[in-house]
Structure 1
């Protein structure tokens, strides 16, 4: 179908082709794959979406005659005959469906399924069927039991093999949700891998051979199908693709910056600094050195003729809100310019508004709040103020991104907790005005390695230090057996008008996670402390969540203790909150634990973070009791758990890269980043005669098709830009 002599555009067409051309992958299967292969996928699920979704592990399945103790908890395949179906009755609400089967040795095996449709199980394991069972077995009360195993058609060849214990099969296991079978990924493998066109190396031959990289086609194939390769070859395959990924990231950004900096997007503005000085004089405390430096960097960008794209990173409680307020003041001091601050939740937006409005009023600045819970009439009135230019500072939520929100002259857009918004939402603000400066805020500490890789994408202001009156949060690790004693201690805190957060990793009972769920913990604590206890989790409607949280924030509110999931992680400031309890902390990365700890310690009282664990011997958790520097904790997460945990985004399924292991690939990252710079320097003379990125694309197609293909294939599809991400 595709061959290596094809034109570059034809090769690229293969990687962009919708996977529905593969037999057995229809519209329904394609749709359930969308959230797994990419959170930003709206329509086409492409070949490349699958190829960059790499296996999380490879399992070697042993084909046996029957089950024996030596194969407990090991991946095996066993020929079986289905005997009967039954529904077990337990004392709790977890009622499994059981399939009784007989293996090749004549012994009975028991297959247990929880929370699955009966018709699905009975159709997969019909009585009398001869199948090959796939899974891992356990021995419970003398019986061999399998939980949620798979099966495939049974063949006579496998049964008649004289020595089946020597028969092995290596299977790639892909990250997936419960409703997606690994068989779907096998179909994708079989339908895609044999047809991948190869791409030549666009890199310096010495550099490429020094790493002993395989070809692009070989690397992709070996990474997805390990049946004919060893571990070293798979490692080389991943590292080759990691090199490509970092190179494309860095080279594309250099091009983007080059073309952006070659055109002045706005006039060079000289602002009157008097309003900014007056605003600083209203702040009742001395700015930290970190706040001063960050403010200066942002205001310098605002005043330049080039569009700003900057990330403001400050640890929890470092005072980012004041910094962005000063930036907004500088913008509106021009008279006709507007600035907007967008928060991920209405409660946080209201809190920002309440914090900034007294300052704005004293400076005669018109500030408004636009949120989803306002009436239609209220929103219309506020939108009229924004469209007319009367509203100079706008605080809002996702409502800001709607097409009905029009600005008179927007010049600065600030997005708080930026990782909770999509690229399209950020782009929609930039689309309001082509001279808009963009400032992203994050409380997640960024490890040095990721800073180096992100610097190409944006400028970064790192704020260290906290206001002088903040006391460090005392952190302790205690056994989960001490819950009752802990609740007794909380009674004193509540009587002292202090507020408590209690975080659980899951909402309700789970078959796979051994942890007390939020609902169960809420019921237990409420039986002791009464209606002082509130419950928050993602399944509660946002309006109701905000109502509960608003009561919790009020000094005289009824709710004194909140049992919650990580929905409270977003930076709401509760000055009376002095205790943060985190149940099953081993289920979180250190960066996320640090974020949660930052919800307390906002006032002048001593605050506490209590890690409630069944295993208090874990060294990783002990680090939380010793280290309060978010950057050091992020570095540890990066080293031991990957960039998803280091950025505090792993639980939402997001990752900074697809092929890169940021900690293990240091030499790959360094070499690839340097080569991107070297190659860009080689093209500088050519770029002088090229007006925009589209013309550079055409130049590469003709003069360096391999570079064109690598850049086009690896470009971030969610950026919504041309083939080079420019």
Structure 2
């Protein structure tokens, strides 16, 4: 961007850094200073008028105009006039005046008329930190077709956006923008965002660009990999063969078989070493067990807080918790992380160092880096993320889960108790998720502390845990072996494998995002059991929950979540509510996302 020093200062005041961003400072209103010969009521209008009389009241000023363009009289009214306003109206003078015109029973008034000079123009009005006249001049001098094209926007997008700042017709409301103009604003907003994302991407030489084939290994498996698993493994194979360090995010629905993709990546990396980090001991343990089972020829090791100082140089596959971040690690050509969003900022910074631990002098080489997530994201978000990281989606599961989902209320409680008794009699396990650990006067649902007594009296082998429980991993492992009923918060949302878990009951379900509900539902029926998911709510009806129980795909759920909550900040991960975007709607605007992505890549 070839901005002058003065332009750069104004950009800074406006909190922007480009002409494209300036184009998104859309006027909130327009002054139409063209002279019309037809009077329109309830409209800001210009009159060519002679002042016939001026009357001063206690708190007002009344001016009688003869409007030459309409050929009749209009009464101007100013409330609480400032002294300088008095001098604008001199009897016998002819000038141009602008104000809101209203007509009732043949009488026409103009409220707050003001004398104007910029006749014949439609002037945009801006809300900005700059004074209105300064902002107008700045836009008129800086927002040129040439400047916008120089930043990479398409010709027709530039023309559409400029219409808003240099209008030939007054636009009465931004709600009335035609679809073409609205789509152009969406395009520009996303173009800026994705361009910024791609500028964050850094390319480094990879420590290894050799790759072993995975097919012989996959034929030894007691099942067949799904098409999407194979496609993702092929994506990774291409990455590992490049001399540029890979950065790829693999997003798979609950139970889509990401573990096999992790193991295949380790196989392809041989004889080079791979490191895998998981957010909990349970998860790391599960992954280690799978590696021991399906990669018998690979020397694997599990590293947790309890691991003694063993020599990790002897191992090809190091699997561990965040304990890995706090010890000396041998050089690895592939670093993988499961559920990266569950690590704290400090841990992520250490992870970045871990990923850089093989960097040669001059900072030229890094390991390949793969991150895995079981939290499905909308397809539009996946496309946007590709501006700074490669993305693979695994949307199908190796086997179809049979889970019945249902919204329930207080009146269903007796039936719910019978269902729980039934499932426990079948040696199945039940999970009860409560919104809070302790009582709250603001919440109409019981907390774990209030509810546990009822369940502990009624059932045997009841286990309780929550996010602040230091023993939660031990409790979950104990429950897995011996429990009937587990009472918890959403701490069990991700990753843990409970083969006998058949039912989950989520209390106050309307308080949780649909993606969280889907994660919790994904805990049941892991091994082909008939599963049940009950959403308990005090709300008499909820379209959101009704739509959820009819939807099984995590990626469709992620889209529904967007529709009901609007997207959050994708870059920073604040996906709670309130949109990062003013114009674009990620739930609806997939075609625009595709178009921006195509233009940025070509």
User: How far did 1:520 drift?
Assistant: 2.1
Q: CA deviation at 1:419?
A: 2.3
Alignment pair present for 1:591 and 2:518? no
- Closer/same/farther in 2, CA of residues 240 and 207 from structure 1, 3 Å limit: closer
Distance 1:340 1:612, change over 3 A: same
Within 1, Cα distance between the matches of 2:572 and 2:542?
20
- Within 5 A, what are the aligned runs for 1:666-705? 666=589, 670=593, 673=596, 677=600
Partner Cα distance (2:294, 2:285) in 1 = 15
- Summarize the alignment of residues 72-87 of structure 1 with structure 2, pairs less than 5 Å apart: none
Instruction: Indicate the SS of the match to 2:535.
Output: strand
Contact 1:247 1:672 in 2 (8 A): no
Instruction: Mark the runs of 5 or more structure 1 residues left unpaired by the alignment.
Output: 17-191, 216-228, 682-726
Cα drift, residue 597 of structure 1: 0.6
Q: C-alpha displacement at 1:311, in angstroms?
A: 1.5
SS where residue 234 of structure 2 aligns? helix
Q: Does 1:298 align with 2:236?
A: yes
Query: Contact 1:475/1:609 (CA < 8 Å) preserved in 2?
Result: yes
Q: What is the aligned counterpart of 2:160 among 194, 210, 231? A: 210
| 8 Å Cα contact 1:268-1:305 kept in structure 2 | yes
Residue in structure 1 matched with residue 486 of structure 2 by the alignment: 562
Structure 2 CA distance for aligned equivalents of residues 371 and 435 of structure 1: 24
CA-CA distance at 1:420 after TM superposition:
2.0
Matches within 5 A, 1:312-711: 312-331=250-269, 333-334=270-271, 337-360=272-295, 362-363=296-297, 365-372=298-305, 374=306, 378=308, 381-382=309-310, 385-386=311-312, 389-402=313-326, 404-408=327-331, 410-421=332-343, 422=345, 424-433=349-358, 434-468=365-399, 470-530=400-460, 532-541=461-470, 544-554=471-481, 557=482, 559-615=483-539, 617-644=541-568, 653=576, 657=580, 659=582, 661-663=584-586, 666=589, 670=593, 673=596, 677=600
Q: Which residue of 1 aligns with 2:83?
A: none
1:309–1:437 contact (8 Å) kept in structure 2: yes
Tell whether the 8 Å contact from 1:214 to 1:240 is kept in structure 2 after alignment. no
Q: For the Cα contact (< 8 Å) 2:503–2:532, is it kept in 1?
A: yes
Q: Match for residue 61 of structure 1?
A: none
1:251 aligns with 2:182: no
Instruction: Please tell me whether the aligned partners of residues 344 and 416 of structure 1 are also in contact (alpha carbons under 8 angstroms).
Output: yes
Q: Following TM superposition, by how much is the alpha carbon of 1:15 offset from its aligned partner in structure 2, in angstroms?
A: 5.9
How far is the alpha carbon of 1:501 from its aligned partner?
Answer: 1.1
Shift of 1:546: 0.7
Question: Which whole-Å deviations, capped at 9, do the CAs of 1:90-124 have from their partners, x for residues lacking one?
Answer: xxxxxxxxxxxxxxxxxxxxxxxxxxxxxxxxxxx
CA contact (8 A) 2:206 2:368 kept: no
CA distance 1:399–1:662, shift in 2 (3 Å): farther
Asked if the contact 1:601–1:607 (Cα under 8 Å) also holds between the matched residues in 2, the reply is yes
**Separation in structure 1 between the aligned mates of residue 317 and residue 323 of structure 2, nearest angstrom:** 15
* Cα offset, 1:355, TM superposition: 2.1
For the structure 1 residues 350 and 13, does the alpha-carbon distance in structure 2 shift closer, same or farther, using more than 3 Å as the test?
farther
Is contact 1:251-1:676 (8 Å) kept? no
**Cα displacement string for residues 589-627 of structure 1 (whole angstroms, at most 9, x for unaligned residues):** 222211111001111321111122223632322223322
Secondary structure at 2:393's aligned position in 1? strand
- 1:488-525 per-residue CA deviation (whole Å, 9 max, x = no partner) reads 32122223221111112233333443333233232322
- Write 1 or 2 for the structure with the bigger share of helix: 1
Question: Structure 1 residues 668, 438: CA separation in 2 closer, same or farther (over 3 Å shift)?
Answer: same
Question: Conserved in 1, the CA contact under 8 Å of 2:250 and 2:394?
Answer: yes
Q: CA deviation at 1:484?
A: 4.0
Cα distance, 1:207 vs structure 2 = 3.3
Cα displacement string for residues 40-67 of structure 1 (whole angstroms, at most 9, x for unaligned residues): xxxxxxxxxxxxxxxxxxxxxxxxxxxx
Return the alpha-carbon distance in structure 2 between the equivalents of residues 603 and 646 of structure 1: 33
**Aligned-partner Cα distance in 2 for 1:444–1:648:** 16
Name stretches of at least 5 consecutive residues in structure 2 with no aligned partner: 17-128, 150-154, 166-171, 359-364
Asked whether the 8 Å contact 1:312–1:441 carries over to 2, the reply is yes
Equivalent residue, structure 1, for 2:113: none
- Aligned residue number for residue 245 of structure 2: 307
Deviation at 1:478, TM superposition (A): 1.8
Structure 1 residues 561, 265: closer, same or farther in 2, change over 3 A? same
Shift of 1:315: 1.0
1:656 is displaced (CA, Å) by 8.6
The equivalent of 2:40 in structure 1 is: none
Alignment of 1:174-323 (within 5 A): 200-201=142-143, 202-204=147-149, 207-208=157-158, 210-211=160-161, 246-254=190-198, 260=203, 264-266=205-207, 268-271=209-212, 273=213, 276-277=214-215, 279-323=217-261
Are the structure 2 counterparts of residues 518 and 589 from structure 1 closer, same or farther at C-alpha, using a change threshold of 3 Å? same
CA–CA separation in structure 2 for the residues paired with 1:312 and 1:573:
20
Instruction: Determine helix, strand or coil for the equivalent of 2:329.
Output: coil
Deviation sequence 1:319-360 (CA, Å, 0-9, x none): 1101111111221x22xx211111111221112112222333
Over residues 658-691 of structure 1, what are the superposed CA-to-partner deviations in whole Å (9 max), with x where a residue is unaligned? 65653478399559826962xx86xxxxxxxxxx
In 1, are the aligned partners of 2:566 and 2:577 still within 8 Å (CA)? no
TM-score scaled by length of structure 2:
0.66
CA distance in structure 2 between the partners assigned to 1:239 and 1:399 by the alignment:
48
Shift in CA distance, 503/443, structure 1 to aligned 2, threshold 3 Å: same
Q: State the alpha-carbon separation in 2 of the partners of residues 451 and 590 from structure 1.
A: 18
User: TM-score when scaled to structure 1?
Assistant: 0.56
Change (3 A) 1:493 1:319: same
- Secondary structure of the residue aligned to 1:643 is coil
- Separation in structure 1 between the aligned mates of residue 148 and residue 543 of structure 2, nearest angstrom: 43
Q: Secondary structure at the match of 1:449?
A: helix
1:589, 1:648 within 8 Å by CA — same for their partners in 2?
no
Specify the SS of the correspondent of 1:211: helix
1: CA distance between counterparts of 2:206 and 2:494?
33
Shift of the 426–15 alpha-carbon distance from structure 1 to 2, 3 Å rule, reads farther
Contact 2:402–2:529 (CA under 8 A) maintained in structure 1: no
